[in-house]
Amino acid sequence: MNVIEHPASALHFPALQPPKRYLFGPGPTMVDPRVYAALSKPIVGHLDAYFIQIMSDVQQLVKMVYGANEASTLVISGTGSAGMEAAISNFVEPGSKFAVFANGYFSDRLTEMAKRHGANIVRFEKAWGEVYSDAEARDFIRREKPQVVAFVHAETSTGALQQGKAICDAAHEVGALVIGDCVTSLGGIPVNFDETGIDVAYSCTQKGLSCPPGLSPMAISERATTWLRGRTTPPRSWYLDLKLIHDYSTVSHRYHHTAPISMFYALREALMVIAEEGIENRWERHRRANRSFVNGIEAIGLKMHVPAEHRIANLSTVKVPEGVDEAKVRKQLLEGSGIEIAGGFGPLAGKVFRIGIMGPLATEENVQFFLKEFKKALGVQG
């Protein structure tokens, strides 16, 4: 039997010392020290009564940030894309008509997932950064009469906010369910799940909730719950089967998968931080920070990509000035002051900066710090 010897040098990795970063990008965002502390707590088993209570606490707190008092809530062990796939897998059956409001990268991802699940897809196409009027939404849905409709509430790729009330009302008129992507909006701006009429919403932990990535909070309306109970074929994804996850987390607590215990601790603490601030106070803090940010950007002489009435308060897209290399500006920010922002991609590649002012960074002091460093980095690029 041959024994493979590893060189001693392979055992001498440096200690973990991540660089200090100011996460002004679209996510992940800065994390409250209390959340880091929660991550360090001792784990228990995923069937332990203590952990079952933690899951229950999280489900109740998720109702607060969604505005979903009448809905069921649960948390998927996976990032926001897992929540997206869970929504598609459970509510989009092979051959069903799936209507997508397509105006950015994540509506394209919804389309791709639905295609893989065998849906008959119809898309209402608009340029990245544009939104749909109430009349346009109603006409599209009444004409197509789909079984499921999907829209992105706050499109991370463009910075555009899509109101969902008219979409939901029209969808319900034709008997359709509505999936709402709330990945960027949850915790930073109002979702108003019940009031808007969304049937299935998913989000993530690393944006407006100011928590590390790894979980996807979901809200499911009574209408969608009834539909799911009546589904006669199992979804194609066993891991993301919401009936099984709901049974594990809420009903019998029978083993389904080993949930990431420490991440549930972290999410519970992040939601407690929000609850203590007050969700409406948090939304207003983000609105104030956004106003200050936009004023500062315009004072520099730059322009926003999205009109004021359609902007996301916690994620902005700023047009790259003529002749400026946005990648070099981002590199200058990162190397000079440790500030991370993102560039555009798809049709907006090289055309916009994507800048998140959310969570702990959504304060006047942090906005002014960012604007000072941003102006300096732009100056280096002429």
pLDDT at 126: 97
List C-alpha distances in Å: 3 to 6, 8, 163, 303, 332. 10, 15, 63, 63, 48
DSSP H/E element including 252: none
Q: Are residues 117 and 225 in the same domain?
A: yes
**294: three-class secondary structure by DSSP:** helix
- Are 151 and 140 in contact, with CB atoms under 8 Å apart? no
Radius of gyration (Cα) for the chain, nearest Å?
22
* Residue 164 is assigned to a structural domain of this protein: yes
Q: Are residues 255 and 285 in the same domain?
A: no
Q: What span, in angstroms and rounded, lies between the C-alpha atoms of 105 and 345?
A: 9
* Residue 2 is assigned to a structural domain of this protein: no
Q: Are residues 237 and 92 in the same domain?
A: yes
**Encoding tokens for residue 227?**
């539909």
pLDDT at 14: 87
**Encoding tokens for residue 95?**
């051959």
Q: Are residues 233 and 133 in the same domain?
A: yes
Domain range enclosing 160? 34-275
Question: Burial, 89: exposed, middle or buried (Cβ in 10 Å; 0-12, 13-18, 19+)?
Answer: buried
Domain count, the chain: 2
Report the CATH number at residue 174. Answer: 3.40.640.10
Q: Are residues 191 and 204 in the same domain?
A: yes
Query: Three-state SS across 82-126?
Result: HHHHHHHHHHCCCCCEEEEEECCHHHHHHHHHHHHCCCEEEEEEC
pLDDT at 318: 98
**Encoding tokens for residue 44?**
């228990």
pLDDT, tens digit, 9 for 90 and up, residues 208-247? 999 999 999 999 999 999 999 999 999 999 999 999 999 9
Q: What span, in angstroms and rounded, lies between the C-alpha atoms of 349 and 106?
A: 15
Domain stop point among 275, 298, 321: 275
Q: What span, in angstroms and rounded, lies between the C-alpha atoms of 221 and 301?
A: 45
Domain stop point among 275, 295, 310: 275
Per DSSP bridges, beta strands 200-202 and 160-161 are unpaired
Q: Which residues face 218 on adjacent strands?
A: 74, 202
- Are 359 and 210 in contact, with CB atoms under 8 Å apart? yes
* Residue 115 is assigned to a structural domain of this protein: yes
pLDDT at 91: 98
Q: What span, in angstroms and rounded, lies between the C-alpha atoms of 86 and 201?
A: 10
Q: Are residues 239 and 288 in the same domain?
A: no
Query: Which residues have CB under 8 Å from 140's CB, separation 6+?
Result: 99, 101, 124, 132
- Are 216 and 207 in contact, with CB atoms under 8 Å apart? no
Domain stop point among 275, 307, 323: 275
pTM of the model: 0.95
Q: Are residues 107 and 188 in the same domain?
A: yes
* Residue 14 is assigned to a structural domain of this protein: no
Per-position b or e across 356-374, b if 16+ CB within 10 A of its CB: bbbbebbeeebbebbbebb
**39: three-class secondary structure by DSSP:** helix
Q: Please choose, from the candidates 356, 99, 78, the residue with its C-alpha nearest in 3D space to the C-alpha of residue 210.
A: 356
Other CB atoms within 10 A of residue 233 CB: 7
Q: Are residues 174 and 308 in the same domain?
A: no
- Give the ranges where the chain is alpha helix by DSSP (H): 33-39, 49-66, 80-91, 105-116, 134-144, 165-173, 193-196, 222-230, 242-246, 261-277, 279-300, 326-337, 364-380
Q: Are residues 285 and 246 in the same domain?
A: no
Q: Are residues 207 and 297 in the same domain?
A: no
* Residue 12 is assigned to a structural domain of this protein: no
Per DSSP bridges, beta strands 177-181 and 148-152 are parallel
Report the CATH number at residue 330. Answer: 3.90.1150.10
* Residue 210 is assigned to a structural domain of this protein: yes
Q: What span, in angstroms and rounded, lies between the C-alpha atoms of 168 and 178?
A: 6
Ranges of the chain with pLDDT below 70:
1-11
Q: Are residues 244 and 270 in the same domain?
A: yes
Task: Report CA torsion sign: 226, 231, 234, 240.
Answer: negative
Spatial strand order of the sheet with 315-319 comes to: 315-319, 352-356, 342-343
Q: What does the angle CA 330 – CA 335 – CA 337 come to, to the nearest 5 degrees? A: 90
Tell me which DSSP letter residue 67 carries. T
pLDDT at 24: 98
